[in-house]
Amino acid sequence: MISKVLALCWLVIHSVSVYAQAEKFKCLCSTIGLADSWADSAGVSCYMIPVSRDAFNKSAGNFKLAVAVASPLSATKEKPLLYLHGGPGIATLGNLPNYLKSATWKQIR
């Protein structure tokens, strides 16, 4: 019983800590190239998250990873979607307004 209570306490503390960290990196969406007014109306929050350039070499420094989070359109128990895209020639964040209008995104959001 004590181990279950301790595990629950750890989970609550960890969840609060993760949320507090996320809020620490929140920024205006215009910082990452999205219109603030559009982001507010679409339920999108934006973040600049520091990421190590090299996990094995801390002296390599950090860069800031731009992240946009689209809130769910309805109450759901589904896990969040992590969408990563790489490669030259495609501006994923810049195309976010178009993605969120698509039928596919509306289904998974």
Q: Which residues pair with 52 in a beta bridge?
A: 62
Total Cβ atoms within 10 A of residue 36: 13
Domain ranges for the chain: 26-108
3-state secondary structure at position 25: coil
Sheet strands side by side (includes 26-27): 26-27, 44-52, 62-70
Whether pLDDT at 85 is above 90: no
Q: What is the pLDDT of residue 13?
A: 41
Rounded to whole angstroms, the Cα distance separating 103 from 59 reads 44
For the stretch 40-75, pLDDT in tens is 998 899 999 888 888 898 899 988 888 888 888 778
Instruction: Output the six-digit token pair for 53.
Output: 């350039």
Selection from 64, 84, 65, 68 nearest residue 28 by Cα? 68
